[in-house]
Amino acid sequence: MIDAERKIEGLDELLHLATHCFLNKISKDMERGSSIAGGLISMLLKLPSTKFVIATLGEDGCVMIERAETGDIQPEEVDIDDLFEKKQSIDTTSTLPTCKTSDVAKLHAKGIGTVCGNS
């Protein structure tokens, strides 16, 4: 596990060893996209050993993208920003925490790339 609250010397080399990343915000250095979801895709592309990334959203909870192996399956391609927007809808009648998952898909972030995974 790597715990870094700010950019430190050697952090980029250590991040390439990480299998799981937890963020309370996405660094502009790591993010090439303009959205949180695009930033998570960017991180998965930059960090091939990483199995999943989670970013907290304050009182709105968190978002996770997990890298997935597809084998022979050819999943559909989904725009990550569209998927993220759909998942942001909040059920105000529930008092319990909720988890909204998606099927394995080719998660595409415009201008960044595509990762096979689910959120």
Please write the tens of the pLDDT for every residue from 34-67. Answer: 688 888 898 899 999 999 998 888 877 888 999 9
3 inside domain = no
Q: What is the pLDDT of residue 98?
A: 77
Give me the residue label for tokens 């952090």. 11
For residue 29, the model assigns a pLDDT of 44
Q: What is the pLDDT of residue 33?
A: 54
Q: What is the total count of domains within the chain?
A: 1
The answer to whether residue 83 sits within a structural domain is yes
Which residue is associated with the tokens 């960044």?
Answer: 112
Locus of tokens 């060893």: 17
Within a domain: residue 47? Answer: yes
Distance of CA 56 to the CA centre of its chain: 10
pLDDT value for 67 = 93
Report the alpha-carbon distance of residue 104 to residue 75 in Å, rounded.
7
Classify residue 16: in a domain, yes or no: yes
Answer whether residue 6 is part of any domain. no
- Residue-wise pLDDT tens digits, 72-116: 778 889 999 888 888 777 666 777 777 888 889 999 999 899 999
The domain containing residue 58 runs over which residues?
11-118
Q: Is it the case that residue 32 has pLDDT exceeding 60?
A: no
Assigned domain for 28 exists:
yes
Cα torsion 35, 37, 41, 42 to 10°: value is 20
pLDDT of the residue at 56: 84
**Amino acid at the residue 96:** L
What's the pTM?
Answer: 0.80
